[in-house]
Structure 1
Amino acid sequence: MNEDFLYYVWQYKLFSSTSLSTSDGLKIHIKKAGTHNKNEGPDFLNAHIEIDNQLWVGNVEMHLKSSDWYLHKHEEDANYDAVILHVVWDYDADIYMKNNKSLPTLELKNRVDKNILENYNRLIFQKQNWIPCENQLEFVDKFLIDNWLERLYFERLEQKSIIIKELLNESNYDFEAVLFQLIAKNFGLKINGEAFLQLSKSIDFSVVRKVRFNENQLTALLFGQAGFLGDEIEDNYHQELKKEYEYLKHKYQLKSISKNTFQFFRMRPQNFPTIRIAQLAALFFTHQNLFSRLMNISKKEEFYEIFNFGIQEFWQTHYTFVKVSKKSTKKLTKTFIDLILINTILPLKFVYLNNRNEFLNDDFLKQIKSEKNSIISKFSDLKIEAKNAMESQALLTLKNNYCTKKRCLHCAIGNNLLRK
């Protein structure tokens, strides 16, 4: 039992309201339960409650035991002076306000349906399952699950929009600059994502705008800022880039990061930071108006077309600056492009459209295949199949934000099972 369950029972009135009375026998009639307060102070604000035929407007505080009022020292806190009702699971002590008057207290222990309590205990205190409700999912209506997943996808977009808004504030709402930073971070994947973000933020995007028409200059800028042009290497291409970067560094007063920021260990060669930097340079050289193009596309095939570009000839026979390898085009795979769409383009478009009081159409995401990872596979074992990327993103949110944290009371599936 925890206080979250009490909040849930109170908010949705899942208790018997017949002959409600305080611990000292005063009749209670709840007109308005109040608004759940997730900040400091009483648990529910602006409640309307009749006590002994007199209407009171104020706050409600909730505890497992009435004596917790003193344990939490609420009697010393002015924030609790406007509490009109103390709602507890177990009434174990009288509580008095500063004026020495008894605080009206409602005990819920014998008023909650035992099935709800049993369902709650079955969900929250089940320690063996991968998710709390895995043995009960078959009893949940598919329509409810589908609707909940759609809501969870937009919740995930809201979460991703937090970092986007932070970057927009830092760049004075330059969407092109933020697109560059987000794509760079995505090119680094999990292992090098933060290093690539650091690289992109080390360059004022105005410099990228000036040099992106010259592929050698843009490539030199990115490799130089990443610290890969500091070594003495007997290679004409490396020396050419180094010379170009020295000119740019002096002209724009640039300061590079360390190449040691980037990880190569246990990575597939196609994911080496050097290859991803070369591809990043090629992308922004090939498409001068990348942001506007991406914001106006509605079919995934057009996205694949944009990200179908070639890199400089040197990188077709190299994975690093020092070793020749078998020639390969090193184009982005569709799986990698899908990750860029899911994690970068669509969240940015979501924020961009919100700024224009427009809404993101989720039909596009339904065109993209579901991601493949251990969480999606496990849900598949439980007969919840992700048919597309929207549903796979939603399932990741469900697992990480609800199931793992046992937030069943805040989950549509958990709510449905609790009330069965």
Structure 2
Amino acid sequence: MKEQYLHYLWESKRLPLQKLTLVDGGPLIILDFGKLNHDTGPDIFNAKLYLEELTWSGNVEMHVNSSDWYKHGHQNDPSYDNVVLHVVYNYDEAVFVKGRELPTLELKDVLDLEHYKNYQHVFKKDENLPCQKELENNKLLVFQQVSVAFAHRFNRKIEELKSVFKLAKNDYKQVLHYLLFQSFGGRVNKLPFQQLAQLLPYQLLLREAWDIQRLEAVMLGAAGLLQEANNHPYTDELKKHWHFLQKKYGIAMMDASAWRFSGVRPSSFPNLKIIQLAHFIVQWKYEVVPFQANNLEVLRRKFNDNISAFWEYHYSFKSTTLKKHETQLSEKAQNIIFINAFALFFWFRGKQKGNDGDLQLAMDILLSLPPEENTILDKWQKRGVDMENAFDTQALLEQNQFFCSDRKCLHCKIGNFILSNKA
């Protein structure tokens, strides 16, 4: 028996509601099933139950065995003090909360065993997805789950931004500044770029955006990378600017070891990325509004600033290339910025303000961008799933990471459809 299956039974209301009694023989009536909690804490929030001749509102916790309450240490966690019902497959031990025995519902003798056997068969662990046939034949169902996965991805990401927003004293531009920096960092250098964004608030960068060399100097200097530069007219000038600006603003400097070069393509080395970001800021100057998704080309042109010839033969300060290379951000890389910075920003602001216009703008940006490309998305394509734009690919990345990889089929519309048709 899996606890996840118990969650599914509760959430889908697939229980013999007329036959439910507590282990002490008392009646149980579920007035409101509450909401499944995907975070830490009790499994179900805000349920409403009639038990012990009273109506109770509170949380519900689920376990395979009732003794798991103690194995999981819930007796030491105050967040479980408001649990009003313990739902278990097997009752093997009484549980007490603040000296009072917790009302318990045992499901072992009331489960639909045929349904559980179907669940075990359909969702058994193997290399193939149990939904492969539905992916190919039921496009409407796939579309519905793609929409669920997209909302899950963007809502999960904006939860991470709430602390940034609070630290920024509810300054939306600082949130966009933070997103812009981390999107330039990519998967490998995301964290040091976040740190750099916090060291250099956008107001400081705007004050120096009148001169590209000063902006390059303050960003490379604060990153701790400029001190690695050898003597060269270009880098010598950057160092002069940095020494002045560091004293002017009292800027702390990062340790250069925070940046990762190993396993990173030269075109994504932090030095060059910081330079590209500095040039974009000089051209853009944090002009958030007005902004239209159908005018992405206007914003795209701001990536095309002329970068110093020094970078045509360098990816970092430690290496020189014999062959001249492209210094400007590719169109594919620009699209990543539009997805992970701008679309996510408008989704965040829309959720914070309850503004449907911002939410629609985020959607419009994603729908206007071509589908992303990587090995995970290649697999989805081979499974027969259509990908027309960045909305689809963002959703499928989430579907892979949070539903399919961990076999959370019971939280997926496709999985629920398969199981309901097998039962």
TM-score with structure 2 length normalisation?
A: 0.82
SS in 2 for 1:363: helix
1:3-402 equivalence runs, <5 A:
3-17=3-17, 30=29, 32-36=31-35, 38=37, 40=41, 46-49=47-50, 57=56, 62-65=62-65, 83=84, 87-90=87-90, 108-109=107-108, 111-124=110-123, 126-131=124-129, 133-138=130-135, 141-231=138-228, 233-292=230-289, 295-321=291-317, 323=320, 325-359=322-356, 360-361=359-360, 362-402=363-403
| Alignment length (residue pairs) | 411
% identity of equivalent residues:
28
Q: Deviations over 1:94-144 (max 9, x none)?
A: x6989x9999876544544444212321244x222254x244535873212
Shift of residue 34, structure 1, vs aligned partner: 3.4
Name the aligned partner's letter for residue 383 of structure 1: G
Please tell me the root mean square deviation across aligned C-alpha atoms, in Å. Answer: 3.7
- Whether contact under 8 Å (2:304, 2:328) holds in the other structure is yes
Alignment partners' CA distance in 1, 2:251 and 2:74: 56
Stretch of structure 1 that moved more, 372-381 or 37-46:
37-46
TM-score normalised by L of structure 1: 0.82
CA distance in 1, matches of 2:190, 2:141: 36
Q: Structure 1 residues 114 and 286, CA, compared in 2 at 3 Å: closer, same or farther?
A: same
Equivalents in 2 of 1:41, 1:289: separation in Å? 42
- 1:202, CA displacement in angstroms? 2.0
Structure 1 356/23 Cα, relative in aligned 2: closer, same or farther at 3 Å? closer
Asked whether the 8 Å contact 1:164–1:348 carries over to 2, the reply is: no
Q: CA deviation at 1:301?
A: 3.0
In structure 2, C-alpha distance between the alignment counterparts of 1:153 and 1:15, rounded to whole Å: 30
Offset from partner CA, 1:204-245 (integer Å, 9 cap, x none): 433212111111211111122222332573311111111111
User: Residue by residue, what CA displacement relative to the aligned partner does 1:137-189 show, whole Å, maximum 9, x if unpaired?
Assistant: 35873212202211221221112212332222222233333333322222222
Native 8 Å contact 2:48 2:56 kept in 1: yes
For the structure 1 residues 164 and 307, does the alpha-carbon distance in structure 2 shift closer, same or farther, using more than 3 Å as the test? farther
Are the counterparts in 1 of residues 135 and 142 from structure 2 also a CA contact under 8 Å? no
Q: Distance in 1 between matches of 2:110 and 2:272?
A: 65
* CA gap 1:396/1:241 in 2 versus in 1, 3 angstroms: same
C-alpha deviation, 1:309, in angstroms: 2.7
In 2, Cα distance between equivalents of 1:184 and 1:404: 29
Q: Is the 8 A contact 1:319 1:325 kept in 2?
A: no
Give the whole-Å Cα distance in 2 for the aligned partners of 1:169 and 1:299: 31
Pair 397,73 (structure 1): closer, same or farther in 2 beyond 3 Å: closer
Alpha-carbon distance change, 140 to 419 in structure 1, aligned in 2, over 3 angstroms: farther
Could you tell me how far apart the structure 1 residues matched to 2:189 and 2:407 are? Answer: 31
- In 2, Cα distance between equivalents of 1:292 and 1:33: 44
Q: Distance in 2 between matches of 1:45 and 1:249?
A: 52
The CA distance in 1 between the partners of 2:350 and 2:82, in whole Å, is: 44
The change in CA–CA distance for 1:267 and 1:21 in structure 2 (over 3 A counts) is: closer
Deviation, structure 1 residue 339: 0.7
Q: CA deviation at 1:14?
A: 1.9
DSSP 3-state at the match of 1:243? helix
Counterpart code for 2:33: G
Q: CA deviation at 1:255?
A: 2.3
* Per-residue deviation, 1:72: 8.0
What are the superposed Cα offsets for residues 14-63 of structure 1, whole Å, 9 maximum, x if unpaired? 2445666667877x574525325646568575544478xx6754676655
Ranges in structure 2 where 5+ consecutive residues have no aligned partner = none
Larger radius of gyration: 1
Letter in 2 for 1:122: H
> Is the helix fraction higher in 1 or 2?
2
- Measured at CA, do residues 140 and 16 of structure 1 come closer, stay the same or move farther in structure 2, by a change above 3 Å? farther
Query: What amino acid does structure 2 have at the position aligned with 1:305?
Result: R
Deviations 1:51-96 (A, max 9, x none): 8xx675467665545676898899999978985x765545678x69
Q: Compared with structure 1, are the counterparts of its residues 50 and 259 closer, same or farther at alpha carbon in structure 2 (3 Å cutoff)?
A: closer
Structure 1 residues 56, 283: closer, same or farther in 2, change over 3 A? closer
Call closer, same or farther: CA 1:258–1:106 in 2, change over 3 Å: closer
How far apart, CA to CA, are the structure 1 residues paired with 2:205 and 2:229?
Answer: 25
